[in-house]
A and B are shown apart, each in its own frame.
Chain A
């Protein structure tokens, strides 16, 4: 299975900050990465697929980039509703696997 390693595991930030979360795969995954947001007590929500494709209804302050084995999720200006845990997921090979999550907390 492909291992997905996220960093940092948690971070503290203020409203308006730019936040970047990194995901490194154990091998190249050819942009086959998705990002999810999970608020406490809720199911994960798909934000981006194919590394940089924003899902319908997701604010444009979210963006994704990367290539090979390294990918990033960026929130350009953190909003109060963005405090949550974020997960990356690869769908390059079977089985799909998830990163361990990055918790974004209020500073």
Chain B
């Protein structure tokens, strides 16, 4: 069965303290891996799509990478406004979408 596991469940950082969020997956025929940001009381907001191992995408302080078994979302010098829940999702070969439970990130000033 397709599975997506995100770790840690929660992460507290000081402003400027870089770190990484992990998304490990097992899926039949990966079509794409997606990262979203979700603020409290709002719907998810799309960040990145990764399609193949070795691929990397960057946006401001965020960088997403992909291997055959996992993806990392690296946050460089985070700011308080980066506080949110970050969701990872995979799309299988049959187009099924499966989301991870998310990592709740808090960045303290």
Q: Do A and B bind each other?
A: no
